[in-house]
A and B are shown apart, each in its own frame.
Chain A
Amino acid sequence: MEANYDIPAPKKRKLSLQIDPKLFEKATDEEKKQQDVMAESTTFFRDGCRRLMKNPLAVMSMIILLLVIVVMIFAPLIVPYSYDGIITVEGVRDKGAANLAPFTFSAKEQAYMDKYNVKIFPHIFGTDELCRDYFIRVVYGSRVSFLVGIFASIMVLIIGTIYGAISGYMGGRVDLIMMRIVDIIYSLPDILIMILLSVVFKETADFSSLPVIGKLGTNMVSMFIVFGLLYWVGMARLVRGEILTIKQNEYVLAAKSMGASSARIIRRHILPNCLSVIIIMTAQEIPSAIFTESYMSFIGLGVALPMPSLGSLANAARSGMQSYPWKLVFPAVAIILIVLAFNLIGDAMRDAFDPKLKQ
C-alpha cells in the first residue's frame, strides 16, 4: 500500500492519539455533498408561522380580523356621521330619523334628496332610538371591545409572566409563598369582585381626567384594575410550571456548568422555550377579556355613555327587540365574529407553536 502523503505523518508524541493517516481515505464528491445545507435552517418563530399559514381556518380568521380592523380604522373617516351625534338634515336635527331600518331614509332626508337630487350616505345598519347612525355606533363599539381585549391581555401578559418567572426561577420558599398567594387569588370569584369594585368606584372614584381610559368611564378602569389584580394568576401559574420543567433540562445544566450567568440562562434558554405557551395564552386571553367587557356592559357596569360598546349596544337593543330585531343582531354578530376569529387563531397558534403537539 502506498503512503498517503497528503496528510502529514503523526508526530510521535507520548500523549498524542497516534492516528495512522494510512487508515483514512479522501471523501468523494458525493460524500462531500452530504455536508451541504439543502434548505435554509428555520427559526422557531418562522417554523410556527409556516404551520399557521397552512391552517385554512386560521388564515380565514386572520382575514376576517384584518377586515374588521380595516373597517374599524377607516369607517369613521368615510362615514359622515358621529357615534354620539343626532342625524341632521340641512343643519337641523332630524327627530324623525329614529329606529330606521337598514338602508332606509327618514322622510326629511328623502325630501332633501329629492329637492337637491343628491345622495345622502346610507344608514347601513339603520339608526338607533336617539336618531344616531347605528353602523358607526357598532364600529365604535367594536373599537372599544377590541381595545379592551388587547390592553387587558397585555396587562395579564406582563404581570403574569414576570410573577411566574420570578417564582419559577427562584424556587424554594419564595416560590412557595408566591404560589400560595396565587392559589388564593385563583379561587376568588373574579366576576363578583369585578361587579363589586365597579359599583364602589362608580361612587367614590373619578377617573375622567385620565387621557384615553377616562373617556371609557369609571367602570372600564375598575375592569382593568380587576384584570390587573386577579386575571394574571392563570398566566403566572402557566409560566412558572413551564420554567420549572425547563429548568430541569440538561441543556440548562450544561449552560450552568459552563459558567453562564442567570441572566443569560433566562434569556437564551428559558424564555425562548416558554415563549410559545405565553403567546398562545395571550391570544386566548383576548376573547375572554372581550367576553367580560360585554358581560359587564350588559348588566349596566360597562363603558360610560354615550360611548358605545358591543355589550351595551346589545343591552340597549333588548327593549325594542320585537320591532327592531336588527339592532340586537348587528352588535351580537360583531361580538361572535371577533371572538370566534380570536378563538380560532388561538387554537391554530397552539397547534402551530407548541412543540409537544408536533407530529
Chain B
Amino acid sequence: MGKYIVKRVILAVITMFLVCFITFFAMNAVPGGPFNGEKAKSEAVMKVLNERYGLDQPVGVQFVNYMKDILHGDFGVSLKTGRDIAETIRTRFAVSAKLGLMAIVVALIFGVVLGAVAALNRNKWPDHIIIFFVTLFTAMPSFVMASFLLLIFCIQLKVIPVWNTADPNYILPVIALSLSPMAYITRLTKTSMLDVLGQDYIRTARAKGVSPMKVIFIHALRNALIPVITYVGPLTASILTGSLVVENIFTIGGLGSQFVDSITNRDYTMIMGVTIFLAAIMVLMNLVSDLLYKLVDPRIQLD
C-alpha cells in the first residue's frame, strides 16, 4: 500500500511538471512578447522592460523562475488587463467551484439511485425508461444540453429566469453540467449492482431471512458503489471541461467562461495560469480517487 501511494504521488508530480513544461514552452512559441502593444516602443525601452521582468534571460532560466513563482502561488499578471492572475482565479473559481460541487453531488446521487433502480428492476419498465434516457444523455454534448435547457425553460416557457449575478439561479446550469456524468454513473452503478446481486453472499443473506431493504442497502449497494469511486477523477474532469461551455452559455462569470474569454482574447499568461490550475485539480482528483479505491477495496491489485 505504502509503495503504491508513493508510486502514485510520483506519477502525479511528473504529470503536473509535464503540464507546466508543455504549457510554458507552448506559450513561449507564440510570437510577440508581452510588451508588443499597438504602439511600437523604442529599443532602449524594450531592453529595460525585458531586463526588469527577466525576459532577457535564456528560456530555461525563465522556466525555472516561472515554476518557482507558481509554487509560491504567483501566476503573474494578465497580458490584457494587467490584473493578478492568482487573484482572478481565486474569485472566479469560487463561482465555478460552487456550481461544480452542486453538479457533482447531483450527478452522484441521481446516478447511483437510478442505476440501483434499473438494476433491481432489470428488464422491467423502470429499467427500460432509465436506460433510454441514459443512452440519450450520453449522446448529448454538454453545450447542446445547456443551449436546449436555456431555449426551453428561459426563452420559450419563461419559467426560470436567465442567470444574473445578484440573484443566481443554479438549477439549469447544474442540470446541464450533471446530466452526462449522471448518465455514466447510472450505467456504472447498474452493471456493478447486477454483478453484486449475483454474488453468493447476497443469496446467503436472503436465505437467512434478512429483510429485502437491508439486503439492498447494507449488503449490495455498499459494495456496488466501489467502482463508482474510480469515476470521481473523470467526473471532475468532465465537470470542469463542461463548465467551459456551460458557464459561457448561461453567462456565468466563473473560471470556465474566463478561460474561454482569454482564449478568444489571446491572453496568453491567463491561459497558462488557468490551464495549470485546472490541470492541477484534475490530476489531484485522479490521485484521490485512485488512492480511495485502493483503500476501500484492498483486494484490488492495481499493478
Interface residues, chain A, CB within 8 Å of chain B? Answer: 183-184, 187-189, 191-193, 195-197, 199-200, 203-204, 287, 291, 294-295, 298-301, 311, 314-315, 318, 321-322, 325, 328, 332, 335-336, 339-340, 343-344
Contact = CB atoms under 8 A, between A and B. Distances in A.
B147 A187 contact: no
Contacts of B26: 196-197, 199-200
A192 B18 CA distance: 13
Contacts of B160: none
A204 B278 contact: no
Residue in A300, A328, A336, A339 whose Cβ sees the most chain B Cβ within 10 Å: A336
A298 to B, nearest CB: 5
Interface string B245-272: 1001100000000001001101010010
Contacts of B147: 314, 318, 321, 328, 332
Nearest to A191: B241
B97 interface: no
B140 A336 contact: yes
Contacts of B135: 340, 343-344
9 contacts: A187-B11, A188-B279, A192-B275, A195-B263, A195-B271, A196-B27, A295-B142, A298-B141, A300-B264
Residue in B237, B248, B263 whose Cβ sees the most chain A Cβ within 10 Å: B263
B245 A298 contact: yes
B248 A343 contact: no
B150 interface: yes
Interface of B: 11-12, 14-15, 18-19, 22-23, 26-27, 29-31, 135-136, 138-144, 147-148, 150-151, 155-156, 237, 241, 244-245, 248-249, 260, 263-264, 266, 268, 271, 275, 278-279, 282-283, 286
A325 B157 CA distance: 13
Contacts of A321: 147, 150-151, 155
Nearest to B272: A196
Contacts of A344: 135
Contacts of B248: 299
A196 B249 contact: no
Contact of A295 (B14, B141, B268, B278): B141
Contacts of A299: 244-245, 248, 260, 263
Contacts of A325: 151, 155-156
Contacts of B140: 335-336, 339
A16 to B, nearest CB: 54
B280 to A, nearest CB: 9
Which 4 pairs between the two chains have the least Cβ-Cβ distance? Answer: A340-B139, A339-B139, A187-B15, A332-B144
A287 B264 CA distance: 27
A188 B18 contact: yes
Contacts of B23: 196
Contacts, number: 116
B271 A196 contact: yes
Contact of B138 (A187, A311, A343): A343
Contacts of A197: 26
Contacts of B142: 295
A200 B249 CA distance: 25
Contact of B237 (A189, A203, A315, A336): A189
A300 B263 contact: yes
Contact of B143 (A188, A191, A193, A314): A314
A14 to B, nearest CB: 56
Given A291-B141, A335-B144, A199 B263 contact: yes
A299 B242 CA distance: 11
A299 B155 CA distance: 22
Given A298-B245, A343-B135, A184 B260 contact: no
A184 B14 contact: yes
B141 A189 contact: no
Contacts of B279: 188-189, 192
B194 to A, nearest CB: 13
Contacts of B241: 191-192, 295
A163 to B, nearest CB: 18
Contacts of A328: 147-148, 151
B252 to A, nearest CB: 15
A183 B4 CA distance: 14
B29 A184 contact: no
Given A184-B11, A191-B241, A340-B135, A318 B155 contact: no
A203 B139 contact: no
Given A184-B11, A189-B19, A336 B151 contact: no
Contact of A189 (B11, B31, B148, B278): B278
Contact of A204 (B30, B237, B283): B30
Contacts of A191: 237, 241
B29 A196 contact: no
Contact of B271 (A189, A199, A298, A311): A199
Residue in B11, B139, B263 whose Cβ sees the most chain A Cβ within 10 Å: B139
Given A299-B263, A318-B249, 9 more contacts: A187-B286, A191-B241, A192-B19, A196-B22, A200-B27, A299-B244, A299-B260, A314-B147, A344-B135
